[in-house]
Amino acid sequence: MRFGQLCAVAVAATKPANASDCKCAPGDSCWPSDAVWTALNETISGRLLKTVLPRSVCYKDQPNYDEAACQAVLSNWTTAAFHSSDPVSVHSPWYANNSCNPIHENGTNPFGDPLAGSRGCTMGRYPAYSVNVTSAEDVQAAIKFAREHNLRLNVKNTGHGSSK
């Protein structure tokens, strides 16, 4: 049985006046430590994935910059299969605040924005971690972890299942 991807992390654009009502986000003092994430990873048999945005390979200031990989991202950017196969990618980057669209060598993105390159590549609204769930127990562990640590939970599915 395949459950798809479960992304367990919040990204809030701004914090309301009463921050105690907010979910915990990366950079907040309440954010789980690396040791806590490691413990979750052990609980779910190593299926915790730390987000590396696939289009970050197009930005020279990113540690994983790779011109050939960038060309592959640009070539596949408009295909559903590309976004479905990535744990955090979304078909419409608008939902992620256009925070890290791939860029051509001249700094424009596939939508023709000439300033995309100058804005750089940030996590924006993408989750910092995801869980490649393969069982109901993985789902339960991820939900429990998110609840215990006050994290926003995002569920990504690959589409309709054909269970028999």
Task: Please state the rounded mean pLDDT for residues 11-15.
Answer: 36
Grouping H, G, I as helix, E, B as strand and the rest as coil, residue 118 is helix
Tokens of 146: 């998110």
pLDDT in tens, 83-116: 888 888 887 777 777 788 899 999 999 888 999 9
Phi, psi of 6 (to 5 degrees): -120, 115
Question: Could you tell me the pTM of the whole model?
Answer: 0.75
Give the number of domains in the chain. Answer: 2
The answer to the question of residue 164 being in a domain is no
Q: How far apart are the first and last CA of the chain?
A: 10
| 64 and 114 belong to one structural domain | yes
Tokens of 48: 């915790």
pLDDT in tens, 121-158: 998 888 999 999 999 999 999 999 999 999 999 888 76
- Other residues' Cβ atoms within 10 Å of the Cβ of residue 76: 15
| 47 and 103 belong to one structural domain | no
Q: Which helix (H) or strand (E) holds 138?
A: helix 136-148
Closest to 47 measured CA to CA, from 141, 161, 125? 141
Tokens of 7: 């992304």
The answer to the question of residue 163 being in a domain is no
Asked if pLDDT for residue 10 goes beyond 50, the answer is no
The answer to the question of residue 23 being in a domain is no
Write down the mean pLDDT value for the chain: 84
Supply the range of the domain harboring residue 133. Answer: 1-11+30-51+127-158
The answer to the question of residue 25 being in a domain is no
